[in-house]
């Protein structure tokens, strides 16, 4: 029987009689996005343009693919300089640095140089002709160059210190922030019932016109066992993000290198974790923590999830190719057996 994940708190608010669902979609941040909202009579074109504009704002501030983004300008800034950041960029970077500290460096927004070295950045891509995986010496050199270079924040001045050569990469948190940004925009416009999806990171609120919540199946690795019905979650005041080793990877010398980099070793993860899903009211938090827990692995990641009160699910590969399903107590407390009505 399929398992369902339910929120601890449920709002009694329902859409007005006769309400329908408007759907908007597009592309941003190198992926697709979609929004389903219980419409209030506003033209679909109004929502489409406004939502795309919100996402364009995220790209303009935090994209490491756009040279003229605020992040790009920070990465090129001279050593020993304070850089004033837009408020959203500052807040996202501050949260990412907090997760870095809490995870012992397992998810570091300052590890962009390592991401680029392994071909998962905007240049020298792993899937382009001529790419060669870095040598141990190149990785060691990159780690040595990172040592002692710490980004500091000045909250009062909304500034970040560029010590020299630090390459920020907010890929582990930016999509989650984008989801939250769209959700806040909709709520600011009086929309109480919606489902937001940016590249598979989701957040929902309220219910559909039929009174049902926004049911979403948790992401599963492609090699999940046949007949595994998985878990569906009611995104009612909740967000969900999944980090997996199967999305982007390359093989070299018979070894598989996933896109998630462990900033501590300077190498792609090799923890045996296939996927980590985190459920949280904030998609930004779910996004960042799912990456950090993936890097840490099941034992250390689960211990951290318990200390932080995170609702997290780990899928780890066994030697026989099957997946071991492990969850934190907070995640387990939200589970029920049954099928969505």
**In this structure, is residue 168 part of a structural domain?**
no
Longest dimension (CA), the chain: 65
Q: In Å, what is the CA distance from 50 to each residue of 34, 59, 66, 190, 296?
A: 13, 15, 21, 14, 38
The C-alpha atoms of residue 209 and residue 283 are separated, in whole angstroms, by: 24
Residues 324 and 225 in one domain: yes
**In this structure, is residue 44 part of a structural domain?**
yes
**In this structure, is residue 167 part of a structural domain?**
no
Residues 57 and 191 in one domain: yes
Residue 193 sits in which domain range? 3-62+173-337
Residues 131 and 237 in one domain: no
pLDDT at 272: 87
Q: What is the dihedral of CA 271, 275, 280, 281, to 10 degrees?
A: 130
pLDDT at 257: 82
Q: In Å, what is the CA distance from 275 to each residue of 87, 92, 245, 258?
A: 32, 23, 6, 11
Question: Which residue, 103, 128, 162, sits at the end of a domain?
Answer: 162
Edge-to-edge strand list for the sheet holding 153-154: 81-84, 159-162, 153-154
Instruction: Count structural domains, the chain.
Output: 2
**In this structure, is residue 297 part of a structural domain?**
yes
The C-alpha atoms of residue 111 and residue 105 are separated, in whole angstroms, by: 10
Q: What is the dihedral of CA 71, 289, 339, 182, to 10 degrees?
A: -30
pLDDT at 43: 62
User: What are the respective helix, strand and coil percentages of the chain, to the nearest 5?
Assistant: 30, 25, 45
Query: Whats the size of the chain, residue-wise?
Result: 341
Q: Are 76 and 68 in contact (CB under 8 A)?
A: no
Residues 100 and 220 in one domain: no
User: Which residues are known binding-site members?
Assistant: 172, 287, 291
Q: Which of 176, 211, 221 is nearest to 196 (CA)?
A: 176
β partners of residue 256: 251
User: Which residues are known binding-site members for Mg(2+)?
Assistant: 172, 287, 291
pLDDT at 107: 96
Write the CATH number for 256.
3.10.520.10
Q: Are 194 and 213 in contact (CB under 8 A)?
A: no
CA pseudo-torsion sign 77, 128, 297, 2: positive
Residue ranges of the chain whose pLDDT lies below 70: 1, 40-44, 224-229, 337-341
Q: How far apart are the two ends of the chain, measured CA to CA in Å?
A: 13
Question: Which residue, 140, 162, 184, sits at the end of a domain?
Answer: 162
Q: Are 173 and 287 in contact (CB under 8 A)?
A: yes
**In this structure, is residue 20 part of a structural domain?**
yes
**In this structure, is residue 180 part of a structural domain?**
yes
pLDDT, tens only, 300-341 = 999 999 999 999 999 998 888 789 999 999 999 999 755 565
Question: Which residue, 162, 197, 230, sits at the end of a domain?
Answer: 162
What pairing do the DSSP bridges indicate for beta strands 261-262 and 255-258?
A: unpaired
Q: Residue 142: what are its φ and ψ, rounded to 5°? A: -65, -40
Residues 305 and 202 in one domain: yes
**In this structure, is residue 280 part of a structural domain?**
yes
pLDDT, tens only, 9-34 = 888 888 888 888 999 999 999 999 99
């Amino acid at each position: 029987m399929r398992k369902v994940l339910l929120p601890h708190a449920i709002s009694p608010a329902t859409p007005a009689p006769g309400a329908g669902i408007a759907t908007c979609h597009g592309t941003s941040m190198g992926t697709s996005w979609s929004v389903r909202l219980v419409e209030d009579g506003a033209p679909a074109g109004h929502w489409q343009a406004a939502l795309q504009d919100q996402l364009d704002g995220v790209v303009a501030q935090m994209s490491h693919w756009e040279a003229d983004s605020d992040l790009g300008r920070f990465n090129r800034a001279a050593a020993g300089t304070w850089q004033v950041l837009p408020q959203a960029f500052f807040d996202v970077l501050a949260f990412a640095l907090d997760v870095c500290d809490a995870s012992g460096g397992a998810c570091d927004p300052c590890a962009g140089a390592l991401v680029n070295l392994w071909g998962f950045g905007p240049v020298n891509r792993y899937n382009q002709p001529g790419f060669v995986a870095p040598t141990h010496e190149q990785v060691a050199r990159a780690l040595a160059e990172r040592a002692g270079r710490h980004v500091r924040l000045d909250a009062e001045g909304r500034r970040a210190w560029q010590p020299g050569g630090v390459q920020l990469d907010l890929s582990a948190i930016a999509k989650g922030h984008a989801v939250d940004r769209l959700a806040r925009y909709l709520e600011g416009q009086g929309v109480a019932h919606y489902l937001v999806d940016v590249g598979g990171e989701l957040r929902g609120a309220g219910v559909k016109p039929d009174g049902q919540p926004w049911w979403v199946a948790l992401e599963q690795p492609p090699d999940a066992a046949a007949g595994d019905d998985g878990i569906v979650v009611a995104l009612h005041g909740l967000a969900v993000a999944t980090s997996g080793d199967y999305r982007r990877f390359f093989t070299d010398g018979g070894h598989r290198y996933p896109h998630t980099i462990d900033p501590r070793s300077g190498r792609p993860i090799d923890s045996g974790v296939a996927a980590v899903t985190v459920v949280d009211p904030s998609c930004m938090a779910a996004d960042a923590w799912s990456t950090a827990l993936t890097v840490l692995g099941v034992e250390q990641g689960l211990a951290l999830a318990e200390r932080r009160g995170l609702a997290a699910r780990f899928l780890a590969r066994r030697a026989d190719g099957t997946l071991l399903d492990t969850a934190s107590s907070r995640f387990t407390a939200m589970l029920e057996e049954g099928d969505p009505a």
